Amino acid sequence: MSLHVRAMSESDLAEARTIVSLAFGTFLGVPNPETLWPDRDYVFTRWRTNPGGALAAEVNRRLAGSNFVTNWGSFGFFGPLTVRPEMWDQHIGQALLAPTMDLFEKWGVRDTGLFTFAHSTKHVGLYQKFGFYPRFLTAVMSKTVRGREASFIKYSTLNENTRDEAVRAARQLADSIYEGLDVTCEIRSVSEQGLGETVLLWDGDSLEAFAVCHCGEGTEAGANNCYVKFAAVRSAPNAERTFDRLLEACETLAAEKGLTRMECGMNLARSHAYRRMLHHGYRTNMQGVAMHRDDREIWNRPDVYVIDDWR
């Protein structure tokens, strides 16, 4: 077997997307694995966000698997990492992880993590070989969209100057939660690719909260869904109330776009935020586990109001 890992090219994307469906569909026991998630995209969108973070594995010059590595400033994570089912247990996943670690080192990230299936000892064992350890569960939660009339600012309505101001403010807010955290690549990606919207909550000149949302088919959300890829609230005595307002704003956005379902990921170590989501009617559809390198908690703490799931 001739195994080679390289940077992913645009010509790989369609096949890589097929492999993602086959791999997850087979693992989850879907009758026709290749039909899994026809309305969701985790490949084209992530490659376009950062082509330098996409890795392809070839076996005998045939695409065998891929991995997508995300750079959020001082933090990085990877996934989905997938391999053709007929090529499982041939060390292709390990071959993809070695250059993944090289990317983290090149980017100078301080901490790294991933989301995987909590019940899969095989997945957990693989990632432990690279220094990742399971910590708290991460709940992927959803609710039916109800009519809301929350007040907020949309990133898409801003002019160039105020967009730059919003990006700087979002970077500063994220940095206040975890030094160096920077998800502005997600804001720009959603805007440039037309994937959805970024919700902004201002208090005068201060950005109090923001949420990067994927909306509808062809995004990470899927048809009729609004998926909150990342959201954060500034730490303050009124953070809980601001988080409530942010959830209402995201639901208002979904209703305006004619979407019927909200989806958000929540690490259960952020217990205060998790309880507020339950209060707003969110329920868990599936649970994974967040694995952290060197077993560090990063921003997964009870008093932090952040939404993400590292899928």
Q: Is the dihedral of CA 29, 32, 37, 42 positive or negative?
A: positive
Cβ neighbors of 184 (< 8 A, separation 6 or more) are 167, 170, 171
Largest CA distance in the chain: 61
Model pLDDT for residues 41-75, shown as the tens digit of each residue: 999 999 999 999 999 999 999 999 999 999 999 99
What pLDDT does residue 294 have?
A: 85
- pLDDT tops 80 at residue 82: yes
At 285, the pLDDT band (50, 70, 90 cuts) reads very high
Task: Classify residue 294 as left (phi > 0), alpha (psi -120 to 50) or beta.
Answer: left
- Token pair in block for residue 209: 């909260």
Mean pLDDT of 192-221: 97
Relative to beta strand 261-267, strand 225-233 is: parallel
- Token pair in block for residue 7: 């940077």
Estimate the crossing angle of helix 160-177 against helix 184-193, to 10 degrees. 140
Map tokens 């009519």 to a residue. 147
What pLDDT does residue 182 have?
A: 98
- Token pair in block for residue 87: 């090529």
Cα–Cα distance measured from residue 196 to residue 139, given in angstroms and rounded to the nearest whole number: 22
pLDDT averaged over the chain? 97
What type of residue sits at position 87?
M
> Which 3 state secondary structure label does DSSP give 282?
coil
- Token pair in block for residue 8: 């992913």
Which domains are seen in the chain, by residue range?
3-109 (3.40.630.30), 142-307 (3.40.630.30)
What type of residue sits at position 121?
T
What pLDDT does residue 295 have?
A: 83
What type of residue sits at position 184?
T
Q: How wide is the angle at C-alpha 245 spanned by C-alphas 240 and 251, nearest 5°?
A: 130
Q: Is the dihedral of CA 124, 228, 37, 48 positive or negative?
A: negative
Cα–Cα distance measured from residue 50 to residue 87, given in angstroms and rounded to the nearest whole number: 27
Q: How far is CA 305 from the centre of its chain?
A: 16
What pLDDT does residue 1 have?
A: 79
Model pLDDT for residues 140-159, shown as the tens digit of each residue: 999 999 977 899 999 999 99
Rounded percentage of the chain residues whose pLDDT exceeds 90: 98
Model confidence, pTM = 0.96
Cα–Cα distance measured from residue 58 to residue 72, given in angstroms and rounded to the nearest whole number: 27
Cα–Cα distance measured from residue 55 to residue 103, given in angstroms and rounded to the nearest whole number: 10
What pLDDT does residue 70 have?
A: 98
User: Which has more pLDDT, 302 or 295?
Assistant: 302
Cα–Cα distance measured from residue 241 to residue 238, given in angstroms and rounded to the nearest whole number: 6
Cβ neighbors of 222 (< 8 A, separation 6 or more) are 37, 39, 40, 216
- pLDDT tops 90 at residue 232: yes
